[in-house]
Amino acid sequence: MRSVNPNQKFSYDEFKRDYVERKMMFHRKPSIAYCKPFRIFGNLYYIGDKRVCSHLIDTGEGLIVFDSGYQHTIHLLVQSIWEMGFNPADIKYLIHTHGHFDHFGASNEFRALYKCTTVMSRVDTEMLRDKPEGALMELSSDPDAELPIIDKTFEDGEIIALGNTSIRCVLTPGHSPGNSAFFFDVRDGKQTYTVAYFGGAGFNWVRKGFLDRYNFPYSLRNDFIKSIDKVRGEKADIVLGSHPGQYNLFEKRKRMEENPQSNPFIDPGKWERYLTGLKARYQEFLVNEE
């Protein structure tokens, strides 16, 4: 999705026109977003595309997948799962980082075909029910966009466990009311590293224009800051996000290919640096929007 220059005057109509135009092109040819999947570390894999992240954990007793991307890119995701040597039918949990259309688009299809349990925070699941337009957004202008059926919801701090993996789910409202962060360990038989995964981090959905349009409280703007501070003290070796640019996925992947002996994804200082940068950019955005 296009990032908006915070210094530019925001025109919703222009933004929407531009967005729909790009989206139609993307609809005609979703393969432009294909990204070769790869192992990030141990039992953690990148299976998303160039625009929206999906991650896979092999727990030893089934697979956990985070986010299902757009509905029309489902074949890219399925292809990536097979390419990494897994069968999508082994997905036990499909966990959604938050309730926005670009992250849950293919959820119902995965659920129908592979019988996985779909998961989302209770707060965002309620948003789907009470304010579906705030989840689908008219921006999606997508004839095949539909709301996901959520089988299991979680509260702040709840653990989702499967096989060798326990995922701690932490609410980080702001980008959406029930946006979430996730903390869990990954391993390769010798080493164990802790992953910190921040869900939605874009600022567009807390613009006053958007909040007004979808009737969300302005308090989400302050929640965004509080959420960053809430998870700041967590210890993490690997940082993930819900869009590739959020954690410099492609730059790290390139470095990994150039030097297979090193793993740039393992970076214990990254979480702190990431949140510091996010907070600074967010504060700048707030000032510029006034």
Q: Which stretch binds Zn ion (CB under 5 A): 31-39, 42-50, 198-206, 233-241?
A: 198-206
Q: What does the longest C-alpha to C-alpha distance in the chain come to?
A: 53
Sheet holding 159-162, edge to edge: 159-162, 165-171, 180-187, 192-198, 238-240
Q: Which stretch binds Zn ion (CB under 5 A): 11-19, 100-108, 119-127, 158-166?
A: 100-108
Task: Give me the least distance between CB of 207 and Zn ion, in Å please.
Answer: 13
**Contact flags string 19-48 toward Zn ion, x per CB under 5 A:** ------------------------------
Residue 100 interacts with Zn ion (CB under 5 A): yes or no: yes
Half-sphere exposure of 227 (CA within 13 A, CB side): 27
What's the burial of 187, exposed, middle or buried (CB within 10 Å: 0-12/13-18/19+)?
Answer: middle
Task: Give me the least distance between CB of 75 and Zn ion, in Å please.
Answer: 22
Q: Which of residues 107-146 bind Zn ion (CB under 5 A)?
A: none
Kindly determine how many residues on this chain lie close enough to bind Zn ion according to the rule CB under 5 A.
2
- Residues with Cβ within 8 Å of 155's Cβ and at least 6 positions away in sequence, in order, are 121, 122, 169, 171
- Residues with Cβ within 8 Å of 228's Cβ and at least 6 positions away in sequence, in order, are 172, 174, 275, 278, 279, 282
Residue 200 interacts with Zn ion (CB under 5 A): yes or no: yes
* CB-nearer residue toward Zn ion: 41 or 197: 197
Per DSSP, 95 falls in state: E
Task: Give me the least distance between CB of 114 and Zn ion, in Å please.
Answer: 24
Residue 55 interacts with Zn ion (CB under 5 A): yes or no: no
Residue 252 interacts with Zn ion (CB under 5 A): yes or no: no
* CB-nearer residue toward Zn ion: 177 or 200: 200
Q: Which residues bind Zn ion (CB under 5 A)?
A: 100, 200
